[in-house]
Each structure stands twice: as structure tokens, then as C-alpha cells.
Structure 1
Amino acid sequence: MPGDEEASPEAQGAAGARWVRPATVIDRVFDMLQARGLVITAYWLTLCSAEPLQEDHVRRALLHLFRKVPPLRTCLRRRDDCLWVCEMEEEAIDFQVVEGADPERVMEDLMNRGYASHDGPLWRARLVRGAAGEDCPLEEVRASLPHTSHLVLGNHHGIADGTSNARTCNLLLRILNDVIAGRPIDNQEQLGEFVSGEEFRAMVSARLRELEEDPENLQRLVEERIGVMTSVPLLLQCYPSLEGTEMKTEVLFEELDEDTTRRFFQRCKKEGVSVGSAFTALINGAMIDLAKKAGRTDDTFTLNESHALDVRRFLSGDASKHLGSHITTFPHAVEAPAAWQESFWDYARTLHHSLHKTLQDPTLEECLYEVMAGEEGIEAMLATVPPPSEDCMSSNLRNLDPLLPDALAGEHVQVARVARGSSNFSSFNCHFVHTFRGRFFYMQCFSSHIISKDTAEAFTRAIFDNLPALL
């Protein structure tokens, strides 16, 4: 597999599968979680095409994708007492055409279903045609590409993160346009290298050694983290957790038009606040509004956030072509006033500066997990699903246009919108944001076995009802 050292002859599987490398901690954790339907990612692409998409064209494009993206060819198998990343011995894709379904429900289905890790593939694709209310939101695209369909992709989070998935989606659109046009495709050319992430693990180990030089400070940090992990989120204090329902993540989707997106971004720039920080402040404000409606009269609230972080930015050399899951999370909390609308931009600036200060130590969360896990290890620590402790989790991929140039410019098929999400684990709701084609996209993934859909919908409405007044 490109990017890995060649396995020795004795490491070759008897049936022809190639043993690539022992699974890393993150490989094992994601595999353990996905087997229970947790932390499984899904992407929903609205496609606009010159002619109705043919099943055979999409299937052939997916097969070429399998051949050109190393992580898509992998499975996970036990060898003695060790889990290994293997390359599948046979080409296989999990692809179906679904007629007349709601793409959001198809997305939910993919993000709540685990994978047969031993056999693979560790990803799925569904072409959805004839969905009710099917539309292309962009007139300039609809004029030349009038036919709309949807492609929903799901994957084991251990083989890809948001950056990998975006680059894979872009390659798929390039291939699909080539297939429709009848152009040759070079399957030897690979999208990138499936890198294990050992460099970041080495950074974590080095930082942990530094922390261990001051045991009192390390113990203080651990106790603070345990305090957060054992806290009850504000919304669950106000709206008791549901009981007796099937464990499931559901989704709610919103998008802003180009004018509102532009005005929001311009106001953020004027106020000296990143878009991600401003939207996090808006999420927190909506949460406070729901708490106040439930009767809370606190003057201030401290909300525990968790943010996904791409660690490629901290690695040596050019890590832009590193495929796989190269993410960590970092916690954050800053006091918010109950009357947050009256001083929103002051609050957003405070949050922004606090967030970016926290980012200066990207390995801290991993270090604390290792200390708390002790000799039993992180897998044992996460063996049971803990009650939610974070008020929210967020994932911000910022502007996707640079990662999806072929999805923007294909002559036969283009992508009009992108939505993405993941099933939950430690949080009962996760907020996914990015921009694409000048529009701001948002998806809330909420645990419907913990909070009701009415509460989740009220949360989303509060976010977007408050936004216009801030512009």
C-alpha cells in the first residue's frame, strides 16, 4: 500500500490479503466504537448532472475510487493477539441505488450501521434518486446541469477524517466525469498516503514526559478533566434524558443563502472574530435560551465544548496528502452571560481568544486520556458508553471549495451542496459546519435516545432565529 513499508513475505495472509501494519490506538478505538454504531461518518452530496445519472457510471466510478484511495481498500484483522490493518484481497464496494427516499434518512442509516471490519469494505455508497423536493439551490448550475440526485457516503472513522473524506469526494467527482466522458483513468495514480499518525503520537509522548516533570500540575489538570467528564450538560439538566429508546443519532440540516453567509462573514471580520468562534458563541447562546425557557435563572453559564482538530497542521513537512484519521479533540469552556445577545460580540471575542490560546497545546487532551486510562489503556476506558458530559461538540472544516475543485467544475456532473455528520459518542449533540459555493452549511447530529427531536429542533431554530439580529 503506498505510504507503508513493504510487508515481509511471512506477513502475507494465506488467502492473499496483505498485512500492512499493526493497528494504532486510534484504529482500535474507532473500530471498537463503530461496532456499536458510534462515531461513524456520513456525507451527503447533492449532485447536478447534464443527464440523469446512470447506475453503471456511478458503480464504475466507485470501483476506480477503491483502486485509487488506499484507505478504501483496507480491513482490520486479528493476527495472534494483535489487530492489524490489512489490504483486502478482493475488490469490493458496497453500493446501492435507492429510489424515492429522503437523503437525510439515508444518511442517518449509514451513520448508525457498523462495518464488518474483518472482511471490508469499511465504507458504503448510496445513490438516491427521485427524492421528494429534490432541488439544486444554484441557478447557474441548474441551467446547464438540470438533473438532481443525491450520493450518500458512509465510512468507518478509523480510515478517514473530514479532510480525507473531502479529498476523496473530490476525486470521486473527477472520476465520475471521466467515466461519463469516456476518458481513460489511471488506477496506478493514488490520491495520497495512508499514514498511521505515529508522528503525532510521538508528540503526545514527548508532551506527557514534560507534564510528568510537574506531578502536582498534572494531577490538577487530570482532576479538572475528570470534573468535566462527570458533569451533566446544561440541556440535560433542563430536559431530562430519554429512557428506553433505541440508541440512534439523527440529523437536522440548515444552510444559509449566499447573501446571509457573506454578511455573517463580513461582520465576523469586522469584530475580529473567526467564523468558527462566532458560531460556537451562537450555539452556546441558543443553549442558554433553551435553559432559560426551562426556568433557569443563572446570571452566567459555563458550557463545556469539545472541538475536533486536524493535527496535520502540527506535523513536519507537507502533511496535506496524509490520508486516514488525523484528528484529535480539545475541550474548551468560557463563562457566558445569561443576557448574551446584549453583548454577543464581546462574548464572541472572549471565546475566540480563549479558544486560540487552548489550541497552543494540541496534545494536552491525548496526554490526559493516557494518564486517566493508566495501564489498562484507552480502549478499556472507553469500553462502555459514558453518559454525556459535554454540552456540545463541533467540527468545522471551514471553506471546502479548495478541497473540492473537481466537484465545482465538472462538465457532466457537479456538487451543489455538501452535508456531513457522524454518530455520537461522548456528546449528545454535535455540530458540523463548513462553507461551500459561498454558502454556510450546518448539520446537528443529536442522540435521539437522549434528547427528543422537538428539543433538537428548538435548539436549531434558536441558533438561526438569533443569527439575523447579530448581522
Structure 2
Amino acid sequence: MEKVGGSWLRLVTPMEEMFESAHQKGTLLICYHLIFNSAARLREDHVQTALRNLYWKVPNLRVCFDDRDGEMWLRYRSSNDLDFEVVNGGDVQSTVERLRTYRYNSTTGPLWCAKLLHDVEHPKESLESTSNLPFISHVFLGFHHGIVDGITTMKVCGCFVQLLNDVISGQLISDKVQIGELVSGEETEKLLQAKKKRIETDHELRETLIREMRSKCCKPRLLDSIYQAPEGMEDKSSQVIHNLDAATTEAFINRCRAERLTVHSAFTALANLALIDLLMKKNVIQSSYTICSAHTTNLRRYWPGDTSLALGCHISPTFLYIKTPRDAGNRFWHYARTLHQNLKSSLESGKALEDIVLRQLTTLSKTEKTEDHVESKEENTEVRPDFFTSNMGDVTPFISRESKEIQVTQITRSISLHNTGLSCSHVFHTFKGHLTHCLDFSTKSLSEDLARDYCAQIFRRLKEVI
């Protein structure tokens, strides 16, 4: 008998299903931390009213997962209740840790939550606020990754800030105007099918690409050579946060522009060199190191037409392998330009889409061998990057509706990585002229001391090259 619920939408995409599987393991969950300065103490009922309106303005926030005839579907919720809590006596770190392992009710929702903290000690990593508004509040938004990606989540944050301002100022709010549309992966699927047809009709190309992918999958992570977690240690997600001052941020951005490359490429190059610094300290000394980084890519970039209203989870990694000489820091900008050109080429060619197709083909190949009872060695077809990146660029335009009564002074993004086999992720963006960097990591892959040293090396080198 069909469960009581809202209207059915569609089958889930493979990405949505993957994130739901991770959610069941309590991982790959998103936490956004917004720090507000306000003219008066932020009222619970104001926040709740803004969240209620947010719920009706963002279709993603009204969906859940459910089984339909043995298949997983998205459907609208039958209830409109919120998961909102005022945390009394809590602190920033414990709230973040809680949202890293949060359990949502997948079949009834909501697949997101909000927490409000007052009167807590300001995190030592926080920026020195330039706001003259005296009251400080912390709002945490947690999300099931299956319903949002970075673009969608920042739009949700911007909408929430706008609504909170409207509620405080007594503005009339209409729930008829939505901030976007929950779209399927149809456009992505069309692109994947085109790539798949090209690869399958060219046998030589298919074998070459699969052979290259399998050879790369055999590459061990560099971090594994310098850290082995103690036997029996529980895997947890942790983070190191660094906020760069405005003057250094501006100098870094201007230098990147002068060198004609992106902040993303330059920061990735710094992360590579800092990784080598760690290896050298641990006596893993080579003339060069092949570093694999995975760059979270917005797949909407490959869709035709206007994608500005497309909400949902539409991402996949673009893998970059780059040979890094031990002394690359001596000619940093030359090295960064080489990395930039390689990454740019991969992004423009849709390498992320090609890699999805190759994973599908190798999975199918393994299944066929099993069914035909052909004896074969177990093949590893999963890339093990040394680190991931998630860069949103300048997120200031997303938060464009502030007022004299309330202002956002800091945004921090984070994702849990424990129990995934992933090592660490550089999550960064600029907001109001400051670069914010969060190194999310699994404690099975990095110790707290190594993670802090890694970040320290990145920002030491950043200041050296500007």
C-alpha cells in the first residue's frame, strides 16, 4: 500500500541517490554557519517566521525521498513542519559537529534544519567584525546533500537573509514567488549519453580512456605515506578554519589577476606545495610528486540556455593530475599557470562528464564479467584524490539584501567526510573582501596537528608569493 505523502516528482538521479546512501551512514552532510550582527537581539519568532517563508519559497526544502515500487523517488512532503531549534548553552563547535552527523527522516523530511545560538563565545577563527551593530547571533543551516549543491545553498542563504530583514522590518511577504525551480538531471543525462555514444563507438578510444583511468586509480594517496590512524580509532570529521585579513586577500586576488590566472588555480597550487612541505617534513623526499586533486564542478556550466533558476544537486568532480617538482615554489607563478591551463582545459572539455561515463562503463564491465563467471582480479575503478576543492568564488552578491538592522558578517561552509574513504577538502570563498578557508578532513586520513600544519603552510606560502 502506498505511503501517505505528497505528490510524486520523479526518480532520483544517481547523484541524489549517492548522497542519500551517504546520509544513511551519517556523512557527506552540509553545514553553513552564518554570523549576524543586529541592532537588537535577534528574536526567535523572527527567525522562525523567516524560515517558514523560506520553506515555501524554495522547492528543494519541501521534498523528501521515498520508495515507489522498489525504486527511489523524490516527492513533496505531506507535512510542512520545520526542524528549528534555539540552542541554549551550546557552542559553535559542538553545533557544527552535531550537524556533521545529523539524521534526517528521509521519507518524511524535512531534509534540512536550522539552529540559532545566542550569547556564545566568538570562535577564535572568526573575523574581527567591522559592523557597529552590537548584538551577535549564530545561525546554522544543515542540509542533506541530495537536495542542494553549493550554488543552491548560497541562494537559500541569500533568500533567508532577505526574508529575515523583511520580517524584522514588517514587510509583507508573498509565498507565491519562488527563488528557482527544482530541476532534474535531464540536461546532464543528455550530455552523458552523447559522450557515452562517442566513446562506445570508438573502441580504441574507449580502451585507451579506461586503461588510463585504471592506471590512475592504482595511485596511492600521498597523505597515506605520512599518516596512519591508530588502530581502532573512530573516524570523525573535523575542520581547520582560517580567515584571511582584507589587505592580504586583496593583494592575493590582485596578484592572481596580474598573473592572468584564477584565484582557484593559484590556491590549488598553494595547496599542492603545502602538501609537499608536509611530505618533506616526514622525509618522503622525491624529485617530483604527482598530485591528484578533485575539483567540485557545477555541471550547469555545460547545459544550454539560462540556468540561473536551476536548483538541486548538479555537481561532479573534475580530476586533475599534475607533476609537481619538489622546488616548484621557487617558480611558483610559472607552476600555477601550468596548473591553471591543465585545469581550464579539463573544465572546457567536460572531463567531469567523461569521467562519469567511464565509471559507468567500468562498473558495467565488472558486472558482465561476474555474470559470465569470468575469473578476474578485483579492479579498483575509484579515484583516490589527495584532496578535494569546493570554491564558490565571491559569495557577497548572494547576500545582497541587508539593512541597518541586521548584517551578515561571516559565512563558513563545511561538509563531513568521515566513513567515506575521502581524505580532506579545501572549502573556500571570499565574502566582503575576506578569503575564508575551511579544511574539512577525516581523522582517519589526517591528525589534527597535521591538518593545522597543512593550513599553516598554505597561508605561509600565500604571503610569500604576493
Using structure 1 for the length normalisation, give the TM-score.
Answer: 0.91
Identity %: 33
Equivalent residues in 2 for 1:60-459 (5 A)?
60-133=49-122, 137=127, 140=130, 142-143=131-132, 145-362=133-350, 363-374=353-364, 389-406=384-401, 409-424=402-417, 425-459=420-454
Could you tell me how far apart the structure 2 residues matched to 1:451 and 1:401 are?
31
Could you tell me how far apart the structure 2 residues matched to 1:164 and 1:107 are?
20
Q: Which moved more, 1:94-103 or 1:427-436?
A: 94-103
Could you tell me how far apart the structure 2 residues matched to 1:222 and 1:238 are?
30
Which of 16, 39, 43 lines up with 1:50 in the alignment? 39
Aligned-partner SS, 1:333: strand
The residue aligned with 2:375 is none
- The Cα of 1:14 is off from its aligned counterpart by 6.0
Amino acid at match of 1:76: F
The structure-2 alpha-carbon separation of the partners of 1:229 and 1:321, relative to structure 1 and needing over 3 Å to count, comes to same
The structure-2 alpha-carbon separation of the partners of 1:242 and 1:202, relative to structure 1 and needing over 3 Å to count, comes to farther
Could you tell me how far apart the structure 2 residues matched to 1:46 and 1:242 are?
36
Q: Which moved more, 1:146-155 or 1:385-394?
A: 385-394
- The Cα of 1:121 is off from its aligned counterpart by 0.5
8 Å CA contact 2:63–2:76 kept in 1: the answer is yes
Residue 34 (structure 1) aligned with residue 29 (structure 2):
no
Q: Which moved more, 1:177-186 or 1:254-263?
A: 177-186
**Root-mean-square deviation over aligned CA pairs:** 2.1
Could you tell me how far apart the structure 1 residues matched to 2:362 and 2:412 are?
35
8 Å CA contact 2:228–2:444 kept in 1: the answer is no
8 Å CA contact 1:101–1:132 kept in 2: the answer is no
Residue 461 (structure 1) aligned with residue 464 (structure 2):
no
Could you tell me how far apart the structure 1 residues matched to 2:195 and 2:256 are?
34
Amino acid at match of 1:168: V
Cα deviation digits, residues 344-391 of structure 1 (max 9, x gap): 1111011000100111222111111111221789xxxxxxx9998210
8 Å CA contact 2:293–2:320 kept in 1: the answer is yes
Amino acid at match of 1:35: Q
Cα deviation digits, residues 62-85 of structure 1 (max 9, x gap): 111111110101110001111110
Could you tell me how far apart the structure 1 residues matched to 2:442 and 2:127 are?
29
The structure-2 alpha-carbon separation of the partners of 1:309 and 1:242, relative to structure 1 and needing over 3 Å to count, comes to farther
Amino acid at match of 1:326: H
Could you tell me how far apart the structure 2 residues matched to 1:282 and 1:100 are?
39
Unpaired segments ≥5 residues, structure 1: 1-11, 378-384
Cα deviation digits, residues 146-192 of structure 1 (max 9, x gap): 21111111111110000000000000011111111222110111111
Amino acid at match of 1:205: Q
Could you tell me how far apart the structure 2 residues matched to 1:434 and 1:357 are?
22
Amino acid at match of 1:61: A
Could you tell me how far apart the structure 1 residues matched to 2:457 and 2:381 are?
28
Could you tell me how far apart the structure 2 residues matched to 1:386 and 1:179 are?
51
The residue aligned with 1:381 is none
Q: Which moved more, 1:285-294 or 1:306-315?
A: 306-315
8 Å CA contact 1:122–1:155 kept in 2: the answer is yes
